[in-house]
Structure 1
Amino acid sequence: MSARVAIVVGAGGELGRTTAQKLAAAGFTVVGIDRNKEAVKELPDGIRSEVGDATDPAVAKDLVDRIAAEVGPPEVLVNALGTYHLGDALDATPADLRLMIDVNAGAALWLTQAVAPYMRDRGTGVIVHVAARPGLEPTAGMATYGVSKAALVHLTRVLDLELRPLGIRVNAVAPQILDTAKNRPYLTPDQLAQAVPPEAVADIIAFLVSDAATPISGAVVPTYGA
């Protein structure tokens, strides 16, 4: 198998879908993963889709192993999986925290564990996670979300230290507000004016996985917009 295989997780969302399209246009054989069966149906022809919940480590490994066997060993992993929760620290519940950690940080770890052996065997690979500004800067009113994204930022930096000697680069992008159909109804005019189109963030992800970004590893790239 000579294909350059890229796996995009969270491909049912606007950022994941746009990233999958850009990587396919760049010459990768792309497999999009999402737990929403209907959402991955919107991926264009030529991009293979898989349905599964990557917050489950066994599911994440099974998906990656099957893709490696049927399509080829992954050279790229883009983890655009994420969820959001508003709420102050004093109002947070154990369920809130568990959900945020499981989706925003746990899945990143399980997916990395699943793809790393294939990248290690090739001596090369690129992983990009999607973090967020509240994971870099304390933000009131989104305690559990911010904590989970901070965990993802720290995980990205730890993975860089551990995997860079194996030839695997690990980076992240950190949007603030994405201008998506899902977000738009909840944004004020000022917030909407500052929101970043998914295409712009996907362009940065596509650069980070490209050969032009070979010197970059361990970076968390702010994509905050205006």
Structure 2
Amino acid sequence: MSARVAVVVGAGGELGRATAGKLAASGFTVAGVDRNAEGLAELPDGIQQFTGDATDPAAAKTLIDRIASEVGPPEVLVNTLGTYHVGGALDATPDDLKLMLDVNAGAALWLTQAVVPHMSGGGAVVHVAARPGLEPAPGMTTYAVSKAALVHLVRVLDVELRPQGIRVNAVAPALLDTDKTRPYLPPELLAHAVKPEAVADVIAFLVSDAAAVVSGAIVPTYGA
């Protein structure tokens, strides 16, 4: 069992996969979590795979407890889960809002609840927020509201968990240059999109000892 275990949730996606690789390269024993087993299969060798839906509170706890038992108590949690919805305020439906809140904010809370009991010696948590959660933007109401809820949750978690030696931060991308987003971005926007590997570098810093004095930060990763 490693003394330095990192859990990366959403590891089947491009940002999660890049983050898992960076943490493994920096010496962590990494457990990748995703509900998409095919995405997990693309992780680099040596990263352990756990399939499950972390948006479900019971499943989140079961996954983290299993990792703590089989791999070791996590020192780091990185949550890259997220989903997106386009639509203005007057078009939003209850289902739209519920889905955005469940995935973009709820999962962060359930995962943090699950991992904290295993961080008796302190630890680091990083969630993935987004620029619309910090700055109002038209046409993405429920998404922006859910990311704003996540931003505030990170700040609340920081206040509550910092006395236990647990640091909680977030990164806030604007546009990510991924296989999923690339076909929908016009050239002028794609030119400003950020590679997942660049955001993963920031996440790796935030969980490192070099960032020991950083907690409660929402770090913009907007690109040029």
TM-score range, shorter chain: over 0.9
In the comparison of the two structures, how many residue pairs are matched?
A: 224
Whole-angstrom distance in 2 between the partners of 1:85 and 1:197: 21
Question: 5+ unaligned residues in a row in structure 2: which ranges?
Answer: none
Divergent runs of 4+, >2 A = none
Whole-angstrom distance in 2 between the partners of 1:163 and 1:47: 28
Which residue in 1 is equivalent to 2:125?
Answer: 127
Whole-angstrom distance in 2 between the partners of 1:128 and 1:179: 20
Deviations 1:6-61 (A, max 9, x none): 00000011000000000000000000000111111111110001110001000000
CA RMSD of aligned residues (A): 0.6
Question: 5+ unaligned residues in a row in structure 1: which ranges?
Answer: none
Which residue in 1 is equivalent to 2:187?
Answer: 189
1:3 aligns with 2:3: yes
Which residue in 2 is equivalent to 1:18?
Answer: 18
Which residue in 2 is equivalent to 1:46?
Answer: 46
Alignment map for 1:128-143 (pairs within 5 Å):
128-143=126-141
Whole-angstrom distance in 1 between the partners of 2:50 and 2:2: 21
1:27 aligns with 2:62: no
Could you tell me how far 1:103 is from its partner in structure 2? 0.2
Determine which of 195, 205, 208 is the counterpart of 1:207: 205
Letter in 2 for 1:157: R
1:112 aligns with 2:112: yes
1:147 aligns with 2:156: no
Which residue in 2 is equivalent to 1:220?
Answer: 218
Could you tell me how far 1:3 is from its partner in structure 2? 2.8
Matched-pair identity in %: 77
- TM-score normalised to structure 2 length: 0.99
